[in-house]
Amino acid sequence: MEEVEIHLLKNVDLKGATLIEGFPSVGLVSSIVANYLIGALKLEQVGIMDSSFFPTVALVKDGVPLNPVRLYSGNTEGGKVVVFISEFQPPTDMIKEIAERVLEWGVEHGCSLIVSPEGLIVDRDEGVEDFVEVYGIGSTREAHDILEENGVPLFDEGVITGIAGVLLNEGRKKGFDVVSLLAEAHPDYPDARAAARVIETVDRLVLKMGLDTGPLYSEAGRIEDELKNIHRRAEIVKRPEGQHRPSMYG
Amino acid sequence: MEEVEIHLLKNVDLKGATLIEGFPSVGLVSSIVANYLIGALKLEQVGIMDSSFFPTVALVKDGVPLNPVRLYSGNTEGGKVVVFISEFQPPTDMIKEIAERVLEWGVEHGCSLIVSPEGLIVDRDEGVEDFVEVYGIGSTREAHDILEENGVPLFDEGVITGIAGVLLNEGRKKGFDVVSLLAEAHPDYPDARAAARVIETVDRLVLKMGLDTGPLYSEAGRIEDELKNIHRRAEIVKRPEGQHRPSMYG
Amino acid sequence: MEEVEIHLLKNVDLKGATLIEGFPSVGLVSSIVANYLIGALKLEQVGIMDSSFFPTVALVKDGVPLNPVRLYSGNTEGGKVVVFISEFQPPTDMIKEIAERVLEWGVEHGCSLIVSPEGLIVDRDEGVEDFVEVYGIGSTREAHDILEENGVPLFDEGVITGIAGVLLNEGRKKGFDVVSLLAEAHPDYPDARAAARVIETVDRLVLKMGLDTGPLYSEAGRIEDELKNIHRRAEIVKRPEGQHRPSMYG
Amino acid sequence: MEEVEIHLLKNVDLKGATLIEGFPSVGLVSSIVANYLIGALKLEQVGIMDSSFFPTVALVKDGVPLNPVRLYSGNTEGGKVVVFISEFQPPTDMIKEIAERVLEWGVEHGCSLIVSPEGLIVDRDEGVEDFVEVYGIGSTREAHDILEENGVPLFDEGVITGIAGVLLNEGRKKGFDVVSLLAEAHPDYPDARAAARVIETVDRLVLKMGLDTGPLYSEAGRIEDELKNIHRRAEIVKRPEGQHRPSMYG
Amino acid sequence: MEEVEIHLLKNVDLKGATLIEGFPSVGLVSSIVANYLIGALKLEQVGIMDSSFFPTVALVKDGVPLNPVRLYSGNTEGGKVVVFISEFQPPTDMIKEIAERVLEWGVEHGCSLIVSPEGLIVDRDEGVEDFVEVYGIGSTREAHDILEENGVPLFDEGVITGIAGVLLNEGRKKGFDVVSLLAEAHPDYPDARAAARVIETVDRLVLKMGLDTGPLYSEAGRIEDELKNIHRRAEIVKRPEGQHRPSMYG
């Protein structure tokens, strides 16, 4: 298993589904979005993504061991969705392969749209409750129409790096609809408010669940704490691998 | 021989056997467990695991040269067992390949269960004789049932790295029963007491030998000393390779 | 996608076309030339060049996501042209592969000539408005004739590195006409005046558009500012990838 | 030629021959043994071992250019022998491949036994003329019998690294007779006395030449000086490759 | 084009020709020899050697772009010759592949002899006009005969590294005649006098042109200056690649 591969744990029909990717981005916007949607929509784990270069780690939740990159799926008012969530930041030299594999896989399974949340770096003061703007950009004419019809302001000049950047390029190259939603986010910590704004936009564009955005912000805060917590535990458990396992032949 | 390969020195029927892995873990818990079981159950060496990236070393015991990673097998009241033992800590980038190869090999030979001991880092004072708890986690519903039926408390939230983590993930992916037993262990030295507690649990779950746990703790201490001794000798012998062989062309 | 590949977004007939490459060179001469020609000749994007080792970035212009290396094409009085433009400096170990791929691709599509602009390092004072000389060198007898017929002084002793150097070598090896135009340029910033002089030469040799060289110099200045601007934005956006994305397992 | 390959310069029948390896070991014991035997038994060069990763060097002796790793062969009272001698210390990551290739080659050519001399580190004072003990260990029951029948004390606990370690492991794995002879040797310089003791043991076990051990010790001293001399010359000649060849493009 | 390949620019019949290699050696002896012979014998470029790991550079001479490694050929009184000349010092890990490719190519084209000039390090005072000795060594009995018949003293003990060392080893392995001519040379600068002495020897052995050795020494001095000059220009032009091309995405 050299390459990035996607393995389904159960048969799912994803024809016409919207694929939402949740690989870590600026302010962990995509991670928080993916986490929230999995919980709020009661999505079920349907698969894993793996590679020989992914971390050798099982994340245990509710007594179940989980791969670091997983696929969840379920139904919404707006149709089927499949969400990719990753517990780790892929190394730079794997980003192209991962993004290309996600898009190819979406095409193979008949998905109709990929949504890629991203954070746009801004330097807001923490106390100031400014309104967070969400911009959109699409890989095709059709993707742009979706944004315009839903009143999402266009991101028309700039640079988009990472998974979102590659998904947009590949979508344009292959004529597949990819939408990236960019929320102004603080780069130094998980930005739950930015993620909440993206969730509202995803709901409006795709899910049509009329998600109650009242508890959304506090929910997002909980997820933010949990993410920090996972990080802290990972730090602690990570130590033995490097230093604490007594070596034998050194 | 690029990849990790397993070579049998004699034909063995391992249908229905329990596979216990003993690659170095936190507090060398799995190493001590594997060493103890090989001695106490009078297991016989049946094979070796090798790779072009494993150390170029023969460990000599009783005048017999031994590969650094070996397979031992034998019978218990609870059925056949096969134990993997490794004298060295695999480099991080080989852990996935090794763990996947162990699981595939177990499937190929009809093994019914993999047991993977691990240490959980705690910072006990050396003098204090606290009770050491052993937690369990399984890759499948059936693996969980084994733990529950035997009263092993569940490890339900956290992160498991290394061989045990990959075995759990792969077991879940392929529907193969993997049980990881996690004992609180001191990370800085071989923790014989933690290993003794895991051995008791393995006996209760699998071996059904009613092993006398009285001498177990002192036995574990002897193994601990031997491991330190091997380490020391390895350090001494290792020197010439790096520095002491007079080079010729440098 | 390991290797460098060229993907066409639409069918184009490039038989007899002149291929102009715009990979970054000394003083960004080739980048400015390519940028100017794409705008002035209203060229249309017809393809992309990509590789798994190219940066994971989408450059957004007018709401359209763009790959970092792109092909543009269109008609001039002197015949069809196809321009390669790259937003990034390829790493040294990719230069041979890129240049060879460009030339092979030109041959496959029936192009008749490759023009490769380069900067020649000189240490002019910024304020002094010296005349910038443009030298030419060709890979074949025919390529030299083109230069001589148009009064371009010959670059007859020296060393040419990078994309231009490889294109000349490969052109000579395969008997394909490659012309490199070398303008004296300042190495430390985008040198718009040097690029303007190359554009005039390209016009005289190939395009026959009688481009008004009056506004050319100020236009070049605008492009120079835009390049600096892109650079600055890239710097800002680049930060999160390295440092600002909160890692999870680190 | 990526891998380690063995090339014969003339056809030789090595059926039943004893293969003696002379890759550098602790105290250069194996190198001195191989050098001495080649001279004393008037062995003839029959082949070379080479790899694209071996040093780019020709050792000139008596006006003949020699590869750094060579095979010599000839007859003794005890039967045919083939000796491998290496002028350089293989890098750690090639030791497995070299040792495996030696053993495979021995099997292919019908050799009946491999003898691998090694040095055991001791810290003798240089002036003190202690008796040097030679220990033996075999890969198989038959190999052990050879040692016991000849009164060689068994090396029964410890760690053997490098070529000798891999040969023992591979011999055990494949049921091929490998004997390693370990002489106490000083690690910091070529130890001729330790080598002399191994030569006596090899003579007793295999060669049956009743070699006169009187001049053996002074002969060994000469070889020791020659080895130091080769080393010194190699040091001098090696310099230009790194620093002294004036580079052109750097 | 991963490997080292040789490409002919025109069909040449090299049956029975002498191949003279001019890759940089101690004191640049082989480079100066090759340069001199190309000029003095009015040899014509007939091919190039290339690899994806060779420098991305075109050397321009008389308005013609040249690959860094080239083949020249022509006739002499002593028969056809083909000369390899390299403008750069190959990295250590390419020397085997290059030397093997040269020899294979010589065999394929029916060449009858390879001559490899080398410098032998000595520490002459610059002012002292000592006589420079040229030693020879051959890969075969026949190659030795050529040296003896022409009164070239034999290099009979020592170490020869680099291209010459590999050519001698490969020649002996394959029974192909290779002669290395070693002149005492100063390692720190291009040693024209050493090269002149080698040229005289090559003339006596192979070319039979009765080259006038009077102007040879001053000619060699000119070449020496030119080599220094190329080096200096390469240094200047090399700068932009590393530092001076303004990067765009960094």
Q: Provide, as residue numbers in chain A, all residues whose Cβ is less than 8 Å from the Cβ of C237.
A: 121, 158-161
**Position C131: which residue type?**
F
The DSSP 8-state label assigned to residue B154 in this structure reads B
Question: Where do we find the tokens 């001076």?
Answer: E244
- Alpha carbon distance D158, D163 (integer Å): 16
- Identify all chain A residues contacting B97, using CB atoms and an 8 Å cutoff: 52
Quick one: pLDDT at residue A220? 65
Least confident of D117-121, D219-223, E166-170, E203-207: D219-223
User: Edge-to-edge strand order for the sheet containing A79-86?
Assistant: A5-8, A44-50, A69-76, A79-86, A18-22, A113-121, A178-185, A134-138
For position C239, what pLDDT does the model report?
A: 40
The nearest CA of chain E is from the CA of C212 a distance in Å of 28
CB-neighbour burial class of residue E238 (10 A; exposed 0-12, middle 13-18, buried 19+):
middle
Report, as an integer, the average pLDDT of E66-88.
Answer: 97
Q: What angle do CA A51, A53, A56 make, to 5 degrees?
A: 90
Spell out which chain E residues touch chain C, with contact meaning CB-CB distance below 8 angstroms. Answer: 1, 7, 9, 48, 50, 52, 54-67, 230, 233-234, 236-241, 244-250
- What percent of chain D is modeled with pLDDT above 90? 70
In whole angstroms, give the CA distance from residue A27 to residue A198. 12
Determine which of B26-30, C151-155, D56-60 has the lowest per-residue pLDDT on average: B26-30
Provide, rounded to the nearest whole percent, the portion of chain E with pLDDT above 90: 71
Would you state the pLDDT for residue C249?
47
Tell me what the pLDDT averaged over chain A comes to. Answer: 87
B90-94, C226-230, E63-67, E148-152: least confident range: C226-230
A205: closest CA of chain B, how far (Å)? 33
Lowest-confidence region among C229-238, D9-18, D55-64? C229-238
**Mean pLDDT, residues B217-228:** 71
pLDDT of residue C236: 46
Closest CA to E223 of E36, E72, E65: E36
The more confidently predicted of residues A207 and D126 is A207
B24, B121, B164: residue with CB nearest A248: B24
Lowest mean pLDDT segment, chosen from A24-38, A60-74, A229-243, C62-76? A229-243
Indicate the pLDDT class of residue A230, thresholds 50, 70 and 90.
low
**What is the tens place of the pLDDT at every residue in D28-54?**
899 999 999 999 999 999 999 999 999
- The pLDDT score that the predictor gives to residue B241 is 40
C159/E237 Cβ within 8 A = yes
- Is D52 in Cβ contact with E187 (below 8 Å)? no
- Kindly state the average pLDDT of the residues D175-181: 98
Residue B108 has pLDDT above 50, yes or no: yes
Query: E237 contacts in C (CB within 8 Å)?
Result: 121, 158-161
- What is the arithmetic mean of pLDDT over A61-73? 96
Q: How confident is the model at residue A189 (pLDDT cuts 50, 70, 90)?
A: confident
CA gap C196, C184 in Å, rounded: 11
* Prediction pTM value: 0.89
Q: Is A186 within 8 Å of A122 (Cβ atoms)?
A: yes
- Residue E192 binned pLDDT confidence (cut-offs 50, 70, 90): confident
Confidence of residue B233 (pLDDT cuts 50, 70, 90): low
Name the more confident of E229 and C149: C149
Confidence check: pLDDT of C129 > 70 = no
pLDDT band at D241 (very low <50, low <70, confident <90, very high): very low
- Per-residue pLDDT averaged across D138-154, rounded? 97
Give Cα B176 distance to the centre of its chain: 18
Neighbours of chain E (3+ CB pairs under 8 A): C, D
Q: Shortest CB distance from B62 goes to which of D68, D97, D156? A: D156
Query: For all residues of chain B together, what is the average pLDDT?
Result: 87
- Catalogue the E-assigned strands of chain C: 5-8, 18-22, 44-50, 57-61, 64-66, 69-76, 79-86, 113-121, 134-138, 157-161, 178-185
Question: Whose structure tokens read 């004893």?
Answer: D18
Tokens representing residue B99 in the block: 């763990």
Instruction: State the pLDDT at residue E118.
Output: 94
Q: Which residues of D touch B57 (CB under 8 A)?
A: 159-161, 165
Chains with 3 or more CB pairs under 8 A to chain A: B, C
Q: Please choose, from the candidates D132, D226, D119, the residue with its C-alpha nearest in 3D space to the C-alpha of residue D163.
A: D119
Band of the pLDDT at E186, cuts 50, 70, 90? confident
CB pairs under 8 A between A and C: 129
Q: What is the pLDDT averaged over residues B128-150?
A: 90
- For residues A69 and A53, what is the distance between their CA atoms, to the nearest angstrom? 12
Residue E146 in tokens: 């050529």
Spatial separation of the C-alpha atoms in residues B67 and B49, rounded to whole Å: 8
Which positions ≥6 away from B210 have C-beta within 8 Å?
Answer: B77, B203
Cβ contact, residue pair B121, A234, below 8 Å: no
Residue A121 vs residue C109, higher pLDDT: C109
Given a contact cutoff of 8 angstroms between Cβ atoms, the answer to whether A200 and A36 are in contact is no
Residue type, A134: V
Closest partner residue to C161 (CB to CB) among E48, E238, E249 is E238
The pLDDT value recorded for residue D213 is 63
Side chain identity at residue A12, one-letter code: V
Tokens of B229: 């001794």
**B236 pLDDT exceeds 80?**
no
Residue with tokens 């490997």: E3
The alpha carbon of residue E81 and the mean position of all alpha carbons in its chain are separated, in whole angstroms, by: 13
Grade residue D210 by pLDDT with cuts at 50, 70 and 90: confident
D217 Cα to chain E: minimum distance (Å): 25
Please work out, in degrees rounded to the nearest 5, the angle formed at the alpha carbon of residue B91 by the alpha carbons of B86 and B95: 75
Cβ-count burial of D6 within 10 angstroms (0-12 exposed, 13-18 middle, 19+ buried)? middle
Instruction: Kindly state the tokens that stand for E133.
Output: 């000795």
- Helix (H) or strand (E) holding C38, with range, is helix C29-40
Q: What is the pLDDT of residue A222?
A: 74
What's the pLDDT at B131?
78
Give D9's contacts in chain E (Cβ within 8 Å): 173
How far does CA E162 lie from the centroid of its chain?
A: 12
* Per-residue three-class SS string for C54-84: CCCEEEEECCEEECCEEEEEEEECCEEEEEE
Whether pLDDT at C123 is above 70: no
Which residues have CB under 8 Å from C150's CB, separation 6+?
C201, C204, C205
A201 pLDDT above the threshold of 90: yes
Instruction: Give the three-state DSSP class for A59.
Output: strand
Q: What is the CA radius of gyration of chain D?
A: 18
pLDDT tens for each residue of A91-139: 999 999 999 999 999 999 999 999 999 999 876 555 555 678 999 999 9
Q: Which of B24-28, C139-143, E9-13 is least confident?
A: B24-28
What is the average pLDDT score of chain E? 87
Cβ atoms of E26 and E121 within 8 Å: the answer is yes
Q: Could you tell me which chain C residue has the CA closest to the CA of A162?
A: C56
Q: What percent of chain D has pLDDT over 70?
A: 83
Is the pLDDT confidence value at B112 over 50?
Answer: yes
- Residue range C211-238: mean pLDDT, rounded: 65
Chain E nearest CA to C164, separation (Å): 8
User: Interface of chain C against chain A, CB under 8 Å?
Assistant: 1, 7, 9, 48, 50, 52, 54-67, 230, 233-234, 236-241, 244-250
Mean pLDDT check: name the lowest of D175-189, E14-28, E45-59, E123-137. E123-137
B190 CB neighbours in chain A (<8 A) are 246
Helix (H, G, I), strand (E, B), or coil: what is residue E241?
helix
List, for residues A137-155, the tens digit of each pLDDT value.
999 999 999 999 999 999 9
Please enumerate residues of D whose Cβ is less than 8 A from a Cβ of E: 1, 7, 9, 48, 50, 52, 54-67, 230, 233-234, 236-241, 244-250
The CA-CA-CA angle for residues A242, A246, A250, to 5°, reads 85
C-alpha R_g of chain A: 18
- Residues ≥6 apart with Cβ < 8 Å to E48: C169, C173, E6, E7, E9, E67, E69, E70, E71
Q: Tell which wins on pLDDT, E48 or B220.
A: E48
Residues of chain A positioned with their CB less than 8 A from the CB of B192? none
3-state secondary structure of B243: helix
State the nearest Cα–Cα gap between E47 and chain D, in angstroms: 21
- Position D244 scores a pLDDT of 42
Considering only the beta carbons, identify the residue of B25, B31, B238 that sits closest to A250.
Answer: B238
CB contact under 8 A, A56 and B190: no
Contacts of E57 in chain D (CB under 8 A): 249
Neighboring chain B residues of A7 at a CB cutoff of 8 Å: 173
CA distance linking residue A65 with residue A48, whole number of Å: 12
Candidates D21, D53, D169, D182: best to mutate against B (most CBs of B within 10 A) is D169
Cβ burial of C214 (10 Å; 0-12, 13-18, 19+) is exposed
What pLDDT sits at residue C142? 97
Whether residue E237 and residue C161 make contact (CB cut-off 8 A), yes or no, is: yes
CB contact under 8 A, E24 and D246: yes
**pLDDT for the residue B117:** 96
Lowest mean pLDDT among A33-47, A66-80, C205-219, E110-124: C205-219
Quote the minimal CA–CA distance from D228 to chain E in Å: 13
Residue length of chain D = 250
Q: Which residue of C has its CA nearest to A171?
A: C65
C144-179 pLDDT, tens digit per residue, is 999 999 999 999 999 999 999 999 999 999 999 999
C neighbour chains, 3+ CB pairs within 8 Å: A, E
For residues C206 and C81, the answer to whether their CB atoms sit within 8 Å is: yes
Among candidates C192, C232, C225, which has minimal Cα distance to C33? C192
Interface touch A162/C56, C-beta < 8 Å? yes
Position A249 confidence tier, pLDDT thresholds 50, 70, 90: very low
- Average of per-residue pLDDT across C1-14: 88
ipTM of the complex: 0.87
Contact list in C for residue E233 (CB cut-off 8 A) is: 158-159
pLDDT tens, position by position, E193-227: 899 999 999 999 999 998 866 666 776 677 677 76
Smallest Cβ–Cβ distance between E233 and the set C137, C158, C187 belongs to C158
Q: What are phi and psi of A57, to 5 degrees?
A: -145, 140
Tokens 């006589």 found at? E131
Min mean pLDDT across C37-46, C172-181, E71-80, E237-246 is at E237-246
Give how far D15 is from chain E: nearest CA, Å: 24
Contacts with E137 from chain D: Cβ below 8 Å = 60, 63, 65
Q: What is the mean pLDDT of residues A184-200?
A: 87
Q: Which chains touch B (3 or more CB pairs under 8 A)?
A: A, D
